[in-house]
Every structure is written in structure tokens, then in C-alpha cells.
Amino acid sequence: MIQSVDTILSLVLLSVLFSFGSSRLPVLIRVVAFQGVIVSLVPLFTNHDITTESVIFSLVTMSIRGIIIPLSIHLVLKRTAISREVEPIIGFNASLLAGLVLIISAAFVSNRLEIPSISSSALLMPAAITIFVSGMFLLIARRNAIAMVLGYIVMENGIYLVGTTFSTRTHHIVEFGILLDVLAGVMVMAIMLQNIGQKFDNVDTVHLRKLKDR
Amino acid sequence: MVELIFLAPFLIGIVSFFLPKKLGRVLIILTGGAHLILSVLLWRNRPEAIFPEYFSITPEGLLSLLVISLLFFLISIYTAAYLKEANIQSENIFIGSMIVFLATMTMVTLSDHIMVMWIAIEATTLASAPLIYTHRSQASLEATWKYVLICSVGIAMALLGTVLITLSMDVGNVDVPLSFSALSASAKDLDPMWLKAAFVLILVGYGTKMGLAPMHTWLPDAHSEAPSPASALLSGVLLNCAYLGIFKTNKIMSAAGLDDFSGTILIVFGLMSILAAATFILKQTEYKRLLAYSSIENMGIIAFGTGIGGLGAYGAILCLIHHSLIKSSLFLTSGNILLGYGSKLIEKTGDLASLMPKTLVAFFAGFAGISGFPPFGIFIGEMFIIVAAFRTGHHIVAVIFIISLCVVFAGFANQVMKISFGKVDKGTKIKIEEKLSMVWPQYILLFTSLVLCLWIPDTLYKTIMDAVSAIGGGF
């Protein structure tokens, strides 16, 4: 059991590098979907007692994080259908290097933290930190609005991983509320993206810098 | 039946997405009135919640709830009149979002569970996004995009902070419900390192929503692009909701004996906000942005006061209440000016005194109130904060605080004079004349603020004291 978690988590770490080095949005969306699926399944492996409730909850989480959210972004991309490049502010080689540094430092930091509840897996904590920070990185280092929304989703995935690994205290109903909020948030962003695509013929955020103090 | 007060407006809001225009305008006033009555009943009876794990009535929650309720009722009356004049597409979406927005903010004031609080605050972001996008222009699209993205990312930080609180429980071997009240009661056992990390993240997260510098960049855009009734709600009460999240977390910090740490951070963020506002107010060219920066300044004052503690915390709550009352009236008034002159630029306005005299009274009284002229409550609040700062030995920050307040006042006064008495091109005609129904909600708001300076009802005083005593506030 323990090793299988680490295997899929190492795949997640690889997917982070993949997303940093890729210039195409469809690839990025697939990486986000993959992370969404893995992140929702991890609690099933780490929790000792598996109940029907937790299985159902994991499946619901998986269908929202792994299918519905990426699919809605994919639909937006199809409808606006203009630029599929991520328009990097930080180049791909530099991004890849940053990704490597990120993974190493995440592993280093998690070794130094003493957290009682997650001794079961060696990679959980580094993976959670890496996913969270990589989401922030995508938000900062990409100019394409769709890539920024994907960065936000990756960040949320990271927080979910942190939350589920740290504690079993929260009730499923509360976590479901958070999930609904995230879903509604992504939907609102998807609508905004579509409007941006129609109004500016482009989702480059350079156009979104007109409002400022003169 | 505490939950009824946010579930009911939520359902009404959803229904009103599908209602015709005229019905919606009546419905929003009725909802506001019913909500106000329910809030007053809640204040008097203080019943138990159906789900006490998630919701409970706290003094600070009650204060915010009553402010939200009163403001929403008055703003709804203004909205009905405003919608007749302003040409807004898809009015049902506007009204529906306003009511759902009310529901989510009410939920914030009543939530006691740390995660439910997060859910409610994120829900306010989503419910208010359509309000900012009402005009469907490129500028409003940009403002909404910034608002949704910056606030969602910011609030995600707060979620991480909330998760770290549960971690501090694990490390400290504390087994209590995840509610603010239970955590405050057993705060001493929580692990201090993780609790500090959690507080910083939560302050950054909810601080983004509250408009603290340097995370405030969405605020002027959103407040100036939204239609005026929506700006009034955003500025008057939404910022308070975010503050409530910080206040409650600060309560846990205070109970854990870490109030020096949290206080210092609050003071730093507060001062930065006041300074940022001071720089941008001086050269402002749009009056709605001017008001938005003034909100940032006031949120800075409130964070500063909370950080100082003691008398300062009491002053901060006073500022919070009066800022809501006065700033919402100012934003409503700015709606009249916008309808009258048809421009957001200060240079296109002028001579309000002879062109729109009734609006001038509301505008000028609001300006006097918000910049802390002696009879108004903000003056009293700021005085308490300054006295507390000197008493606790924060001499340098107190001096910076006073100087920046003076700068803000000078900049604000300069712009207000231009709008009120400045010269205007000959032959300027007011496009839409001021109406009584679009002035008296502001008069009531300002009058309430004035009354509260001279006389605070005992029950209100007691509730404020209950709220601030938990963070070591009071006389």
C-alpha cells in the first residue's frame, strides 16, 4: 500500500515538470486532470479505515477535480480557439530548472518538519508542497489567462492534498462545501475567460492592464 | 432557526434570477426589510443554531449582521430608484446576485466552524462577481477578472492557513471541534509555530479580500466599475466580512498568548494600507476610485487599531461600524453624481452646490464623517486608537499613523472641494436630476452614524465590549 502511494505521487512530481516545460495549453489541461484524479484518490490509500462514505466522497471529488473542472476549461479553449500557446513570462528552460529546484527544496523542507500524522508515505508532503507552489508559479510566470486559471486549480489541488493528508478531522460535508466553492469558482472564471476571448479576441492578459491610476 | 436568515435570501435570490424586472425591484426591498426584522429578532432573542457545530451567534458576528442588514435595506430602496434611471442590461441577474450576495455575507457573520467560514467568504466573492460585470464593458470585464482571480488566489492562502490550524491541533494533541469558540478555549495547547504560520496565511488571505496593501490592487478597479449600489455593498459590508475572519483568528492568537506576534503583523499591514492609500489619493482623477482608496485607508486604520489592542481594539470596532454607514452612503451619492454628470472623472464634475444641492448635502456630510471631523464616530475611533498606541509605547508608528491620516485628509479635501464647488464648463446640464428617493437613504445612513456618536444604546455598547474583550480590548 505504502509503496503504491509513493509510485503515483512520483508520477505527480513528474507531471509538474512536464507542465512547466510544455508550451501548449491542451497538454497543461491534461496534466491538471491527471493531478486532480491522483489527488482525490490519495486519501483512500493513506486512511486506514475505508468506509463506503469515504469511497463515495473520493469518487465525487475525482469526478469534479479530474473530469468536470478540466473539461470545462477545455470547452472554453475550444470555443475561444485562438491562442493555444501559454505565452510564458519565464522561459521553458528556466521554468524546468525552477521546477527541479522546487522539488528538491520541497523534499528538503518536508524532511525538517516534524509532523506526526503523515509518517506513512515519504513523498506525500513534498508532493503537496510542490503542487501548491507550482500552481503559484504558473499564475505568475504565464501571461495567458487560461494558463493562470489552470495555475489556480493546481494550487487548490495542492491545498486539498495538504488538507487530506494532515487531518481526518474535517467532515465530508465541509470538504464537499469547499469542493463546491472551488467548482463554482472555476465556472465563474470559465465564463469570464469566454467573455475575455470574445471581447479581446485573445486571452493574453496584456489586454487586461488598462485600469490603473493615472 | 438561526440558519433561516441566510438560507431564505439564498433561495429568494435564486428565484429572482427568473423574475421580470418590476417584480425584482419590489422583491429586493421586501427581502431587505424581512432580513432586517430577522436580524433584530436574532439580536434580541439570540437563539441556538440547528447545527451548532457550524454556526453560532457571536457578539462580533451580531454586530456585523446588524450593519449588513441595515445597509442592505437602505441600499435596496436606493437600488429600486437607481434601476429606474440607470440603463442596466439583464436586471434580474443584478438583483438576484445582490440577494444571493446578502445571503452569503450573512452566512459569514454566523459561521463558527473555521472551514465553513472559508466557504462563506469564498462564496461572497463568487456572488459579487456578476455585480461588478453588470455593465458588460471591457473595463468591467477587466475589473471582474482581477477581482475573481486575485481574491480566489488570496482566499486559497487562507484555506491553507485554516488547514495549518488543524495541523497545530494535531501537533499539540488537541481534540476539539474545529470551531473558533472551541479553539479559542483550548488555544494554549495548540502548537505555537504552526499557529503563527496559520495566522500569517489567513491574514494574507482574508486581508486580500479586506483590501489591505499590498494585496489591495483589485479593490479600486472593482469598486469603480461596479454600479454604485453594488459598490456601496462591496465597500460597506464585504470588507467587514473579510475582517471578521481575521478578527476571529486573532481571537485564537490572543487566547494562545501570541497577541504580540499577531498585533505586530496587523500594525504593519495596517500602516502599509494607510500609506498606500495616502499616495494614491493625492493624485486621484476619478471620484469612485478616490472613495475606494479611502476604504483601503479605513481598513488599514481598523487593522492598525486591532493590532494595537486595548482601547485601540474598541476604536477599531467603532471605525468599522461608522465606516460602513458613511462609506456606503458616499458610494450611493457617487451614483447620483455619475448619473448627473455622466462621467467618473473628477475634472468633468464641479459645482455640485448649485447643480445638485440635495446630493451635495449627503456628499459633503459623508466626506466630513469619513475623514474624521470631530462630531462623527470615525474621529472618536481614531482618537481611541491614537491614545492606545501612545499608551502601549508604539510612539513611532503612532506618529506615522497621524501624519498619513493628515495627508489622506488633505488629498481627499482637495478633490472633494473640486467636485463640490469647483468651476464647471458653461452650459453643463445635469443629465438625470436628483430625486428624493435617491437621497434620503444616504441621509438616514449618515444620521444613524451621527446618532451613534452621541448616544450608543446599552445593548450595542455591551455587545461591542463582549466582542473586543476576547482580544484584550476595552477601557
Summarize pLDDT for B448-470 with one digit per residue, the tens.
999 998 888 999 999 999 999 88
Q: List Cα–Cα distances, A214 to A210, B178, B280, B284, B342, in angstroms.
A: 10, 46, 10, 7, 19
Those residues with Cβ within 8 angstroms of residue B442's Cβ, 6 or more apart along the chain or in another chain:
B78, B329, B330, B332, B333, B362, B366
Buried b (16+ CB within 10 A) or exposed e, A167-188: beebebebbebbbebbbebbeb
Q: For A162, name the nearest residue in chain B, comparing CA atoms only.
A: B163
pLDDT score, position A120: 64
Those residues with Cβ within 8 angstroms of residue A71's Cβ, 6 or more apart along the chain or in another chain:
none
CA-nearest of B290, B294, B338 to B135 is: B338
- Considering only CB atoms, B143 lies closest to which of A139, A169, A211, namely A211
pLDDT score, position A2: 56
Those residues with Cβ within 8 angstroms of residue B393's Cβ, 6 or more apart along the chain or in another chain:
none
pLDDT score, position B423: 85
pLDDT score, position B227: 94
A77–chain B nearest CA distance, Å: 17
Secondary structure element (H or E) that encloses residue B453, with its range: helix B440-454
Question: Cell digits for B257?
Answer: 498568548
In chain A, the percentage of residues whose pLDDT exceeds 70 is: 90
Residue B211 and residue B172 in contact, taking contact as beta carbons nearer than 8 Å:
no
Q: For B166, name the nearest residue in chain A, comparing CA atoms only.
A: A167
Residue A118 has pLDDT above 60, yes or no: no
| Separation of alpha carbons B291 and B273, rounded Å | 14
Q: For A194, name the nearest residue in chain B, comparing CA atoms only.
A: B141
By CB atoms closer than 10 A (0-12, 13-18, 19+), residue B287 is buried
Those residues with Cβ within 8 angstroms of residue A77's Cβ, 6 or more apart along the chain or in another chain:
A25, A26, A29, A84, A146
Which residues of chain B make contact with A192, given a CB cutoff of 8 A? Answer: 129, 133, 141, 144-145, 148
* C-alpha count within 13 angstroms, C-beta hemisphere, residue B74: 29
As a whole number, the mean pLDDT across chain B is 92
Choose from A181, A182, A202 for mutation: most chain B CBs within 10 A. Answer: A181
Those residues with Cβ within 8 angstroms of residue A132's Cβ, 6 or more apart along the chain or in another chain:
A155, A158, A159, A161, A162, B160
A116–chain B nearest CA distance, Å: 7
* C-alpha count within 13 angstroms, C-beta hemisphere, residue A160: 31
Q: For B293, name the nearest residue in chain A, comparing CA atoms only.
A: A213
Those residues with Cβ within 8 angstroms of residue B58's Cβ, 6 or more apart along the chain or in another chain:
B112, B180, B181, B248, B467
Whether residues B171 and A115 touch (CB distance < 8 A) is answered with: yes
Residue holding cell 471581447? A199
Residue A119 has pLDDT above 60, yes or no: no
Across the range B149-154, mean pLDDT stands at 94
In chain B, the percentage of residues whose pLDDT exceeds 70 is: 100
Helix axes B59-85, B458-469, angle to 10 degrees: 120
pLDDT score, position B250: 95
Residue type, B287: Y
- What pTM was estimated for this model as a whole? 0.94
Those residues with Cβ within 8 angstroms of residue A17's Cβ, 6 or more apart along the chain or in another chain:
A96, A99, A100, A103
A86 touches chain B (CB under 8 A): no
| Separation of alpha carbons A185 and B310, rounded Å | 39
Residue A125 has pLDDT above 70, yes or no: yes
Summarize pLDDT for B84-105 with one digit per residue, the tens.
888 888 889 999 999 999 999 9
pLDDT score, position A83: 64
pLDDT score, position A167: 63
| Separation of alpha carbons B119 and B115, rounded Å | 6
Summarize pLDDT for B119-137 with one digit per residue, the tens.
999 999 999 999 999 998 9
CA-nearest of B403, B396, B216, B412 to B303 is: B216
Indicate the SS3 state at residue A85: strand
Across the range A18-43, mean pLDDT stands at 90
| Separation of alpha carbons B43 and B80, rounded Å | 27
pLDDT score, position B34: 96
Whether residues A116 and B170 touch (CB distance < 8 A) is answered with: yes
A188 touches chain B (CB under 8 A): yes
Whether residues B170 and A178 touch (CB distance < 8 A) is answered with: no
Whether residues A116 and B138 touch (CB distance < 8 A) is answered with: no
Summarize pLDDT for B55-83 with one digit per residue, the tens.
999 999 999 999 999 999 999 999 999 99
Summarize pLDDT for A163-189 with one digit per residue, the tens.
877 666 667 888 888 999 999 999 999
